[in-house]
Structure 1
């Protein structure tokens, strides 16, 4: 049984990896190339708005939840949207208009929209297929998969771009999606009968009247969770967006940035993702959340302090390593909590709602940070992000025990 669960977790991990890779390459890897091409900080920040479709995940979740698409349900939706995403990647492979920003924005927006939509049925399928006690672990695996996507999209594919040309990375990403499509056919969905292990105690006691999106906010501690969901990640995420352009501006070669930050930082984040969920299971969310938020504050403050010191590359890379670990650990725990707060029968809807709220703040902060960068420079930008993260740490310290108490009945964490 454990072997089957592990195989299922790894299959979903691959699907998360293949779906996240295009957006990571375009939104986190390409800023390095765009900076090399002369794009400004504001232009790079505006590129992040191509991730706006993720704000509409709640809207995208409605047809996924209500239309079974030929009787196939979540799996059929994931397969169709994955196919369309692969075709869009092949289209951009042979039309790469870096000199025409509006056209490039349009391609990135299309790819981001399809990847975002496909993410909804894949995560709903994962919530339906994995037992309650596996959800926090699933969050760690998903986060690790996203950081491995960062290794490939923010590092290795940049090296491929430099050495083999602009089309090859997109063809490779389309092939990885094709492998994911094969895995979709292999994943088995548990029958409705005997699915007690797949429904948490919190879900089991949901009154019948708790239907639709409003039922989500009636869950215990849902309001606190929404606040943390929107604030725990965007400050560290914004810092990561501008880390590669920063090192390029400091004179580090493109390929070296790709290896040190893209590959090295991605591996550190993946390992931290797995460690973060273990920390939450061992010491409890009430202690884990403020500890991880404090680590994120330390990482951003380190980058700000190094900037004011005008230090060399080595200290910048230390700050980058701390930031990668903070991002990985935080995101692993957050993805597990998102699965917990998705009610039985409303997996796609509740996941879409949470993802929309998460993305809304995640996209706004990099734009503001880019404007701050152009006006005041890197040290001031990282210092401002550190101050914002410090405020979130206080919120996590005050509310972590409340959140832990609300979800402890499900048996997912201590």
Structure 2
């Protein structure tokens, strides 16, 4: 996108499928990329952009804000914000992001608990990292989609290219950081929600889950029961359990097979009510139950060949998209982080300086 276009739009909404939404100075909503110029402009809107996109059944995942000339010129990346109400918390009558709220715990001047300061710093870091990784996945989708449109591809099909590797690495990076965030939240729970478990030195959600089961906490503790349910990786798999299973799947598949031959993207179309046809990408994710079943049956080289064949077939049938899964997973992690921050010994507070904090004479130059 050119500097002139960035100056016109100032904000660009990332959508599922690798699409972007923009409202120009004439209040015309544009979707890029498009299959033809006539499909580029959706129409004129006076409403909030996000609401309009939901009405059009286009799902936003985040927004790039170009707030200064350095963003526009590309010297620095734009300000990235998640398009999710889970990312915000009301603090001191102000609305702040969840990562900012956790950072206010670590920067609290009255905090003497070094473990809490360290954990809140780590939680802040991995929340921000997951947000950034989600943007990387969205960017990888769009780059792939732009190439297909420039090549005038119109037929719906499964494909894999060298560029697909970038998407795979971005997804794997997100899942790895999401697991790190998961485990830091588990540490926090072990120390500050269930302090009796501190002697066990719990540092992963897996070890926290074992503690909850061993102590039979799920029988009379609704929060423990909730944690046990969301982290399940057997029978009824929980959303937190899914994150770990998909992380393992991508990592182990990468080691066992040629990545470019193991994963595919699907070039598809999305048709709006106005009959406007938009290009759309999906990175199929196989159902986790089927992954576990296939992986458990690998014992010989022949099994490996059969495994690859089954993976290919499941990829072609899958309707679950990686970008949407990662977005939903991050929302769930943010909701959990938002709930846990209420259990902190020190509440997040925005530092407000008063005249008593200023030492010496104030000189205005």
Short-chain TM bin: under 0.3
Q: When the two structures are superposed, what TM-score results if normalisation uses the length of structure 1?
A: 0.25
- Structure number with the bigger relative contact order (C-alpha 8 A, sep ≥ 6) is 1
Whichever structure has more strand as a proportion of its residues is 2
Q: When the two structures are superposed, what TM-score results if normalisation uses the length of structure 2?
A: 0.28
Whichever structure has more helix as a proportion of its residues is 1
Greater C-alpha Rg: 2
